[in-house]
Amino acid sequence: MSATQLPRQVKVIEVGPRDGLQNEKQLVPLATKIELVDRLSAAGFANVEAASFVSPKWVPQMADGAEVMAGIARRPGTIYSVLTPNMKGFEGALAARADEVVIFGAASEAFSQRNINCSIAESVARFAPVARAAKDAGLRLRGAISCCLGCPYQGEVPVAAVVDVVQRLQALGCDEIDIADTIGVGTAGQTRTVIEAAAKVFPIERLSGHFHDTYGQALANIYAALLSGITIFHSSVAGLGGCPYAKGATGNVATEDVLYLLQGLGIETGIDLEQVVETGDFISQAIGRANASRAGRALLTKMRDRAAAASA
Ligand code: HMG
Ligand code: MG
């Protein structure tokens, strides 16, 4: 393992409106989704994953992606990303004026079948026209790889399987590739091993870490990934989320917790932590869920105490 100095700056991609909400059983009102995206872009995220253009039979919560994209107030410079598993999804994304499309595969055959109903090889064949169309339209192209640190159906996932999918997505021209721990089982040493293997075949500055927090390891994994040289991370405000095809997996690592960690390390993100804390409170209340961010809850109490003291 090669020790690297910590970076001065990190890009945090907020995935709450997509990865966070997609697993909610009750349909979240369109206005709430739009307000969530707008609050997040106002807080300073350079990239917000706003919606999915997937089959509404597979993920009913994401059926209104076009309406979400039509309703948001676009902040200049913010990249609004959407998931596109096939050309039908891409056409929806293009019509909705997405800035970045995300093709999403897996390092595990079993998960690929459950999540997108095809093998890894078939998925790459389906992604190829999406990738070409994205390039032709001048859109950014991101590739997500699920189950890089473990699979809910197959268990262990060989590092070589992750590297193989990284290479296939690279061949499609992905600008960025996400190493995802879909079910949050990975540990810090494993994270470094997988990331450093992926970085041998794809530039590390364009690899990202997408960690779920099921086993409470996500922040440790982020720190490990930082030491390996990763400078792009995904997180979800209030720790919302989970994947409908990864039973038992909890949400992404909470954005508030990640920002608190990075702030403590003196790493810049350009994001206003207090605005994110307020947004975490807004969405938790709106969908009737406990706020899963520990930093978010602690900071909210402090912010309320401060406001009460100021008005006393
Ligand atoms: P399929 O059933 O094999 O697709 O699903 P199909 O091509 O046979 O089409 C079946 C029906 O779906 C047809 O409609 C199509 O028109 C429709 P019908 O004729 O029956 O009325 N359809 C679509 N409708 C809207 N948009 C589309 C679309 N495509 C087909 N794009 C498919 C294959 C990929 C579509 C399906 O399996 C699917 O939508 N899966 C998405 C699952 C998903 O969104 N999972 C969560 C996101 S991944 C994730 O969370 C992990 C990540 O966060 C990283 C990590 O943490 O690991 C990214
Ligand atoms: Mg995810």
* pLDDT per position as a tens digit, 235-275: 999 999 867 777 777 899 999 999 999 999 999 999 999 99
- Position of tokens 């190829």? 128
Segment 109-130 shows an average pLDDT of 98
Cα(274)–Cα(307) distance, rounded to whole angstroms? 13
**What is the percent of the chain where pLDDT is above 70?**
98
Cα(58)–Cα(61) distance, rounded to whole angstroms? 9
Ligand 1 proximity of 182 Cβ (cutoff 6 Å):
yes
Q: What is the pLDDT of residue 2?
A: 55
Q: What is the pLDDT of residue 263?
A: 98
Cα(208)–Cα(185) distance, rounded to whole angstroms? 17
Which of 116-120, 136-140, 242-246, 299-303 is predicted with the least confidence, judged by mean pLDDT?
242-246
Name the residues annotated as catalytic.
Answer: 243
Question: Residue 126 pLDDT > 80, yes or no?
Answer: yes
Segment 171-196 shows an average pLDDT of 98
Q: How confident is the model at residue 179 (pLDDT cuts 50, 70, 90)?
A: very high
Q: What is the pLDDT of residue 1?
A: 52
The CA 54 to ligand 1 mean position distance, Å, reads 4
Q: What is the pLDDT of residue 245?
A: 76
Cα(160)–Cα(88) distance, rounded to whole angstroms? 31
Best of 13, 24, 55 for a ligand 1 pocket test (most atoms within 8 Å of beta carbon): 55
Of the bound ligands, which one is closest to the alpha carbon of residue 151?
A: 1
Ligand 1 proximity of 104 Cβ (cutoff 6 Å):
yes
The CA 173 to ligand 2 mean position distance, Å, reads 21
Question: Residue 14 pLDDT > 70, yes or no?
Answer: yes
Q: At what angle do helices 218-228 and 188-198 cross, to 10 degrees?
A: 40
Q: What is the pLDDT of residue 247?
A: 77
Q: How confident is the model at residue 4 (pLDDT cuts 50, 70, 90)?
A: low
Which residue in 139, 87, 104 sits closest to 22, CA to CA? Answer: 104
Amino acid (one-letter) located at 301: T
Ligand 1 proximity of 177 Cβ (cutoff 6 Å):
no
Q: What is the pLDDT of residue 162?
A: 98
pLDDT tens per residue across span 186-228: 999 999 999 999 999 999 999 999 999 999 999 999 999 999 9
Atom 52 (ligand 1): residue with closest C-alpha? 146
pLDDT tens per residue across span 30-86: 999 999 999 999 999 999 999 999 999 999 999 999 999 999 999 999 999 999 999
Of the bound ligands, which one is closest to the alpha carbon of residue 246?
A: 1
Which residue in 242, 264, 261, 257 sits closest to 293, CA to CA? Answer: 257
Ligand 1 proximity of 245 Cβ (cutoff 6 Å):
yes
* Second CATH level (architecture) for the domain 11-311: Alpha-Beta Barrel (3.20)
